[in-house]
Amino acid sequence: MKRTKKPMTGRDFDALPAMEKERIVADLEATSTEELIARSRPLTPAEARQQREMRRAAKARMGRPVIGAGAKQVAVTLEKGLLDRADAYARQRGLKRSEMIASGLRLLMAS
């Protein structure tokens, strides 16, 4: 009876000694792309599902973190001189333009 070797995970590879990792990398680098393609096989349904889940999880972590109820991008028209002064003010204080505008709105509504 032939035993099939279990595929190596990233954790399995990380746990290997440095010499073994170097041997595996050398073997892969010595193998042509055509040979690797010839040895490949289609994903099983379980592998395809796992890959989709990993992509979905990675995509969910992309972008800025949600703060409060999230954020909404808006277009605001400002006089150029005012915008230049606002940008200089924000830069001097290490703020992003959107942080400064949000702070200003909070102050205005609090009064």
Which phi-psi region, left, alpha or beta, contains residue 42 (left: φ > 0; alpha: ψ -120 to 50)? beta
- Please give the pLDDT value at position 107: 93
- Please give the pLDDT value at position 4: 61
pLDDT at 96 over 70: yes
Instruction: Please state the separation of Cα 100 from the chain's center in Å.
Output: 27
- Residues 6-63 have pLDDT tens digits of 778 889 999 999 999 999 999 989 999 999 889 888 999 999 999 999 999 888 777 7
| Residue 3: DSSP 8-state | P
87 or 10, which is more confident: 87
pLDDT band at residue 94 using 50, 70 and 90 as cut-offs: very high
Rounded to a whole number, what is the distance in angstroms from the first to the last CA of the chain? Answer: 81
C-beta of residue 93 within 8 angstroms of C-beta of residue 79: no
- Rounded mean pLDDT of 72-77? 91
- Please give the pLDDT value at position 72: 85
Q: How far apart are CA 43 and CA 52, in angstroms?
A: 12
Tokens of 39: 């040895």
pLDDT band at residue 88 using 50, 70 and 90 as cut-offs: very high
For the chain, what are the domain ranges?
10-60, 80-110
